[in-house]
Amino acid sequence: MSKSFKTFLKHTAKDYHNHSINPPVVRASTIIFKSMQEIRKMQRKAIKDPTGGHFDYARAGTSTTYVLQKILTELEECYHVFVAPSGMASIFLAIISVVRPGDEIIISDPVYSPTRILTQDFLKEFNIKTNIYNPYDLKTLEENITNKTKLIYVENPGSNSFEFQDLGKIISIAKKNKILTAMDNTWATPYYFKPIKFGFDMAIVSATKYYSGHSDVMGGSLAVNKKVFDRVKISEKIIGLRLGPDDAYLITRGLRTLDVRLDRHSENAQKIAKFLSTYKNIELLYPYKKNSLNYKMWKKYYSGASGLIGLKIKSNNVNSVRKFVNSLKLFGYGYSWGGFESLVLHQELRETGKRKFMNVTKNQHLVRLHIGLEDPKDLIDDLKQALNKLK
- C-beta separation of 265 from 307 below 8 A: yes
Whole-number Å distance between alpha carbons of 293 and 389: 31
Q: What percent of the chain has pLDDT over 90?
A: 83
Interval 75-102 mean pLDDT:
97
Interval 57-61 mean pLDDT:
88
Q: What is the pLDDT of residues 141-151, one digit of tens each?
A: 999 999 999 99
In the chain, CATH 3.40.640.10 sits at 5-255
Instruction: Kindly provide the residue ranges of all beta strands, DSSP E only, lying in the chain, ordered along the sequence.
Output: 80-84, 104-108, 129-133, 149-155, 180-184, 202-206, 220-224, 282-285, 308-314, 332-333, 343-347, 364-370
The phi, psi pair for 53, rounded to 5°, reads: 75, 35
Interval 163-171 mean pLDDT:
97
The fold of the 258-387 domain, in CATH, is Aspartate Aminotransferase, domain 1 (3.90.1150)
Quick check: 17 pLDDT over 90?
no
Q: What percent of the chain has pLDDT over 70?
A: 98
Whole-number Å distance between alpha carbons of 167 and 33: 47
The angle, 0 to 180 degrees and rounded to 10, between the axes of the packed helices 376-387 and 258-276 is 40
SS3 365: strand
Q: What is the pLDDT of residues 120-156, one digit of tens each?
A: 999 999 999 999 999 999 999 999 999 999 999 999 9
In the chain, CATH 3.90.1150.10 sits at 258-387
- 5-255 classified as CATH 3.30.1280.10: no
Q: Which pLDDT does position 2 carry in this prediction?
A: 61
Cα 15 to Cα 5, 11, 102, 374, distances in angstroms: 20, 11, 48, 33
Q: What is the pLDDT of residues 223-235, one digit of tens each?
A: 999 999 999 999 9
Whole-number Å distance between alpha carbons of 360 and 313: 10
pTM: 0.94
Whole-number Å distance between alpha carbons of 344 and 94: 30
**Range ranked top by mean pLDDT from 4-8, 25-29, 371-375:** 371-375
Q: Which pLDDT does position 353 carry in this prediction?
A: 65
Whole-number Å distance between alpha carbons of 391 and 388: 8
Q: Which pLDDT does position 15 carry in this prediction?
A: 73
Q: Provide the Cα torsion 242, 231, 180, 104; round to 10°.
A: 90
Q: What is the pLDDT of residues 262-297, one digit of tens each?
A: 999 999 999 999 999 999 999 999 998 888 999 999
Q: Which pLDDT does position 92 carry in this prediction?
A: 98
Quick check: 188 pLDDT over 90?
yes
SS3 350: helix
* Count of residues making up the chain: 391
Q: What is the pLDDT of residues 319-352, one digit of tens each?
A: 999 999 999 999 999 999 999 999 999 987 766 6
Task: List the beta bridge partners of residue 82.
Answer: 222
Mean pLDDT (the chain) is: 94
- C-beta separation of 202 from 180 below 8 A: yes
How are the residues of the chain apportioned to helix, strand and coil, as percentages rounded to the nearest 5? 40, 15, 40
Instruction: Kindly provide the residue ranges of all beta strands, DSSP E only, lying in 178-326, ordered along the sequence.
Output: 180-184, 202-206, 220-224, 282-285, 308-314
Whole-number Å distance between alpha carbons of 295 and 302: 10
Cα 70 to Cα 41, 66, 195, 232, 344, distances in angstroms: 22, 6, 17, 17, 34
